[in-house]
Each structure stands twice: as C-alpha cells, then as structure tokens.
Structure 1
Amino acid sequence: MAQRQTEHPDVENITEPGDGPGAGQRHDVLVVGGCGVDTVVRVDSLPVPLADSVGVGPILERPGQTGGNVALGCRALGLNVKFLDFVGDDPAGAQIREHLAKGGVDFEGLISAAGTRRAVNLVERTGRRMSFHDARDPEDLRMPRDFYLPHLARARHVHVSITNFTRFLFDDIIEQGVPVSTDLHDWDGVDAYHREFAYRADLVFLSAAGASERIAPVMREILREGRAQAVVATAGAGGSYLLTREGSRTPRPIPATVPPAPVVDSNGAGDAYVAGFLYGRLAGRDLEACARLGAVAGAYACTVEGSSSLIGIDALLARRA
C-alpha cells in the first residue's frame, strides 16, 4: 500500500502506515519498550483497608502500559507509529498484538522467555490509582542492533520507555541525530536507575508527584546535567510545568484542561499527555503550545476506562481552541 498524506492541515508531513515491516515508510514516532497487560481493580478508596478479603467490582484485564499507550495515543492523532518491544509467547502477548493491531499501530515484537510484563492497578472512585508493576525483564535482556537500526534510520522522533534494555539504544539514537523523548514517571530525582534516561533524552517527561516539593530543582538538574531542551512535569488536576533552556529558571505553569466528562480513571493520562505533546512537536508548534495540547489529551483520557477510547486530531484541536 502506498503512503497517503493525512488531510488535516496541521499534519501535512504525517503519513499513513505502509504494509508493515520492510515497507520503507517514514515513522513519525518510533516507540521502543514498555508494553504489557494491566489488571485493573476498582476500590472505594486508597489506601485499601487491611483485611483478609475486600469486595470489589468486576476485575478487568487491559493490554497497554506506558509504551503501548503512547503508541496508541500517537496513532489516534494521525501519526505514523512504529512500536518495537519484547513480549512473551503467551496469552498476554497475544492480547497486546491484537490490541495494537486494532489501534492501527505497526508493532514488531521479539519473544522474551520471561513472558509479557504485567501490572496490577488499584483505581479509586475519583480516578486516582496505585500501580504494582512487575520487573520481569532479565538484566541482560538486549534488543539486537540489526533489529532496531533500520527503523531508527526512518524515524522522525523516538520515544523510549524506561525499560532497562532501552538505555542501550541511546548511543545509536544520538549518533543518528534523531530527537528522543522519555517519561521518567514518578522519579524522585534520586534513584540512579532513571538518571541515564533523564540526562540523555532531548525531551523529558515526569510526574511531579515523585519529587513533590523538590520538582523544580529536579527539573533544573535535568537541564543542567543532561542534553534535554525541555522538561515537562505533569501534576494531574494541578496542570503541568514546563522548563526550557531558553526560558526562566522557574518552571512555567501550564493550566489543566477541564475534562469534558466526569473523571473515571487516571490510568494512561500521563501517556496521553505525552502523545498530545509529541503531536504538537511534530506539527511544528512551540513547546508551550505542545504542553497545552498534552493537557487536553490527558484530561480526555481520564474520562474513559483504559486506552480503548483515545482523543483524535479534530477533538484535540477543538478543545485546545
């Protein structure tokens, strides 16, 4: 199938997917790592009471997790997305493949003997959540260079999840000169695991909850010690904060967008924010405009359960306007 340009004026350089591996199409976003299956348990409040047994509503299984959610969110916004990761030869891996295919994401997975990553998310009535994520990937897991290099050569932007094997792609990404982003999630600014991701990405996202009142110094440290041109800290209903090399040393507040419907689930809201931001960046918008698009996408994600319903281009730009 030949590439087709999208008809939306904001994405004149964004193409539709080709025929899959080897088709030679340009990737707007290459996402690497971070897929898995979530088990979602809805509870009355967090923390849950200490008890032998607690009655809850229906327990759901949803494929996604951070890399899958970013890939699906970008694809819903019309971006051409390639996604590379390890999955297990198991039912969870099959769920992920099916889910990504339905979302139009061009996914290539390598088989991991450790199986597909899993997480258990407790979600209270206000949408706030607590996630238990298994770290099943072995320390020596590596993605072969001859597997990812051809896709890297065709990428306009790379987004790496903080799975351990992705840190070994940075040298090649930087050598290729492709902009790279990452999401540190709830990094406290201290844990050494996240530091390489923080310092080697061009665009860094993180949650303000991890560092709490220290978030501004942590954002400044990322710019001072790393190569990032911008750092974005998301703060849920409190909006987000943007810090750039050219601006003030004080993070610029970006107001939260009022959700278009009641908040039911905050799972994936940060990933949706990243997708909205990357859409704006690839469309040539300035960083503050990108952050506002991210806020719109994140707010929308809170009004639906899981990543089965994602904001599209028209709704994103209409809400932003």
Structure 2
Amino acid sequence: MTSPAPSFLVIGECVADIVRTPGGPDRVHPGGSPANVAYGLARLGLPTTLLTELGADPHGRLIRAHLESAGVAVLADPGEGARTASALVELDEQGRARYSFDIDWTLAAAELPFVPGHLHIGSIAAVTDPGAAAVLALVRRRPGRAGVSYDPNVRPALMGDRESAVRRVERCVALSDLVKASDEDLDWLYPGQDPESVARRWLDLGPATVAVTLGAQGAFALTSDGRRAETAAVPVPVVDTVGAGDSFMAALLHARHAGADLDRSLATAAAAAALTVSRAGANPPDTAELNAALLAVG
C-alpha cells in the first residue's frame, strides 16, 4: 500500500523576476527560490503550502495567480503598504543569469499554520533579518517527525560579509536533514575549496544528505552513513538558467519522498533541471513531462 504524499510547507520569499536579455524586451516572471520550489512541488502533485510575504500590487497578484494555478496554497498577509520584492535578472548570451534585488524580508513570528510532513527553507528568507529569525523559529518548533530541507541559493549582493554569511548558512545547514547547494554557492562561501570537501564538512553539522549541483558536470550527493551518488547532466539547448536549481530541489524532494534511492533521485532532479533550462523562466515540469524525460534518458 502506497503511503500518502506528505504535506509540504515552504517558507520564504516571492520575487518578481524582471528578465532582461541583450537586445530584447523585459519580461516579468514569477520567481523567488522558495516560491519556485513550492511551485515545482505542486506541479509534481504534492500538497504544498507557501508561507511568504506578498504585496497587493500587480507583481503580487501575478505571483499569487501563478502559484495557485499549480495548486499551491499561499499564506501571505500583504499588510498595509506592503510591496512585492523584485529582481532584475540580466541574461548573457549563454543564458546565464545575474541578479540585482529590491527586497525586504520582514516575516513576523508566528505558529506553524498546520502540521507539515516536510518543511523547506532557503535563499534570502533563511538568512536575511529580521524575517530570518521567524523562519528559524518555525523550523525549531516543527513537529519531531517533520523533515527539513534547505537550499542556500546564495545571492552575494544580499549576503553581507562572507564570514557572517557562512555562519548564517551553516546555522541553517545544522537544522536540516537534506541540503542542496550549487558549486557556485559553495565557491562564494568557501573560495577555492573543493565542493566535495565542503559537503563532508556540512554533513558533520547534522544533515543526513548533502547534494551539490555542478552545472554541465551533473551533480553528486553524500550521506552521513558514507554513501555517494552522482548523475550526469542531461544535455539540452539552454534558453536560460533561471529556476534550474529550484526545479532540481523540488524534483529531488519529490523523488526522495516517493522512496527512490539516491542515484535515482539525483537523475530525476537532473532531468527536471534540464527541462527547466530548456525554456524561459522558472518553469519546472509537471509529472507527465518529468516521466517522459526520464524515459527518454533511460
């Protein structure tokens, strides 16, 4: 008998991504790493709630409609005068993104709105005060059996000095069961250090699994009981890289909670990321698309 899918609670920011390409018009896409993960989870059929901040402005209405179209339950008090965060996303000729943010994160202390089966945190919301304190308090007060995942999704322009940023990121790592980071995240946090060495350092802080994405070189994961898994990247024409890591995270969570082993979970996540980079914006696959992609790559 198949166990029911856990209810996911994602806590973190929504951001309107204003995407600018050389010689093209600006395009606005719903974004924000935690919001993208919530959207990706819901697209894969998992019951998902996003606790966030969202203004009652055009960007806020766009993001809310986008999330709810996938089935995400959005919990956001717009507050008087609240505005939706935005980011200017400038793409180079290879589709690689550079971000400039306009964001405040002021999530207030609260109780968990329900008892989740899994809680995901990440990016700006997990390390930017004053709201980060509320996020971490919610994690610490979670029910004992609720798993926690974390993606630092480092944004250097918002991280402050590196030493304090590392402390804040490692504080989140220590509260988590599953951590996913990119090699670019790790290179900024720990310049010149080998990604696998950093992953082992993070395992010592408490997680059961640390996964690291390596762009075109694929991804690997290490576990606290000594296992190592890896996967190749799926070669596709790249439109842009916006949301690829978030799609990887959502699919990794989906696969792990469906009972897939670590190798299969990484392959599933890599296929989801490939589908996302093959089209514009943070547009993760649904279940049918992901299954078709997995069949195609064997």
TM-score range, shorter chain: 0.7 to 0.9
Which residue does 2:92 correspond to in 1? 124
Q: 1:14 deviation in Å?
A: 4.6
CA distance in 1, matches of 2:70, 2:288: 17
Please say which of residues 289-298 and 188-197 is displaced more in the overlay.
Answer: 188-197
Q: Does 1:247 align with 2:226?
A: yes
CA distance in 2, matches of 1:280, 1:102: 22
CA distance in 2, matches of 1:28, 1:84: 13
Which residue does 1:31 correspond to in 2? 10
Q: 1:292 deviation in Å?
A: 1.1
Q: Does 1:257 align with 2:234?
A: yes
CA distance in 2, matches of 1:270, 1:219: 17
Return closer, same or farther for 1:176/1:246 CA change in 2, 3 Å cut-off.
closer
Q: 1:306 deviation in Å?
A: 1.1
Amino acid at match of 1:172: R
Amino acid at match of 2:135: T
Which residue does 1:94 correspond to in 2? 61
Which residue does 1:159 correspond to in 2? 120
Amino acid at match of 1:288: D
5+ residue gaps, structure 1, are: 1-8, 16-26, 44-55
Which residue does 1:317 correspond to in 2? 291
1:138-178, CA deviations, whole angstroms, 9 ceiling, x for partnerless residues?
4xx42411xxx242x1x2211112302422212112x4320
Which residue does 2:200 correspond to in 1? 220
2:122 and 2:153 in contact (8 A); partners too: no
1:73 and 1:275 in contact (8 A); partners too: yes
Q: Does 1:195 align with 2:161?
A: no
Q: 1:271 deviation in Å?
A: 0.4
CA distance in 1, matches of 2:41, 2:217: 24
Q: 1:290 deviation in Å?
A: 1.1
CA distance in 2, matches of 1:217, 1:71: 30
Q: What SS does the aligned partner of 2:141 have?
A: helix
1:296 and 1:319 in contact (8 A); partners too: yes
Q: 1:258 deviation in Å?
A: 2.1
Q: 1:286 deviation in Å?
A: 1.5
Larger-gyration structure (1/2) = 1
Alignment equivalent of 2:137, drawn from 168, 172, 176 = 168
Alignment equivalent of 1:272, drawn from 247, 251, 259 = 247
1:211 and 1:218 in contact (8 A); partners too: yes
Q: What SS does the aligned partner of 1:253 have?
A: strand
The size of the alignment, in residue pairs, is 274
CA distance in 1, matches of 2:262, 2:208: 10
Q: What percentage of residue pairs aligned between the two structures are identical?
A: 29
Q: 1:13 deviation in Å?
A: 4.0
Show the 5 A alignment for 1:28-107. 28-43=7-22, 56-107=23-74
Amino acid at match of 2:15: G
Q: 1:89 deviation in Å?
A: 2.8
Q: 1:305 deviation in Å?
A: 0.6
CA distance in 2, matches of 1:201, 1:230: 9
Q: 1:135 deviation in Å?
A: 3.8
1:189-217, CA deviations, whole angstroms, 9 ceiling, x for partnerless residues?
85223121111111001111133342222
Q: Does 1:184 align with 2:158?
A: no
Q: 1:187 deviation in Å?
A: 8.0
CA distance in 1, matches of 2:38, 2:197: 30
Please say which of residues 268-277 and 286-295 is displaced more in the overlay.
Answer: 286-295
Compute the TM-score of the two structures, normalised by the length of structure 1: 0.79
5+ residue gaps, structure 2, are: 126-131, 157-161
Which residue does 2:272 correspond to in 1? 297
Which residue does 2:183 correspond to in 1? 208
